[in-house]
Amino acid sequence: MTTETHDELGDDLKITKVTRQAAGTGTWVRGTIDGHRFDALVFPEHAEQTDFELADSRISKIWIAQLSDGKTVCNFDRGWDVEPTTAKAQQILDFLTAGLVEHIYG
């Protein structure tokens, strides 16, 4: 058995599924990071209605849950349903909003 260590947030980021929407320009991205699972709907362009986008990230939906118990620790669906409930959830959200779209669309 091997033991992995991760010094930096994002060192263990794994994108497990990328699904482009058949109708529209968005892309669903699923993955894991630092003991959490996430699903995000990302777009190549900014939303026409700024309320439909998380900050300036081109992410209109993002859900983050702990792998250990499945508990939702963050959920934004064109508005906040669950704001980050832990410091780690906030760190993961900040990390994903800073670079997920660039990772998907270049």
Residues 75 and 55: beta-carbon distance below 8 Å:
no
Question: What is the model's pLDDT at position 21?
Answer: 79
CA distance 60 to 49: 10
Q: CA 27 → CA 6, 10, 35, distances in Å? A: 28, 20, 23
Closest of 38, 34, 92, 31 to residue 61, by C-alpha = 38
- Read off the pTM: 0.89
pLDDT tens, N- to C-terminus, the chain (106 residues): 333 444 689 899 999 999 997 777 899 999 999 999 999 999 999 988 888 899 989 999 999 999 999 999 999 998 999 999 999 999 999 999 999 999 998 8
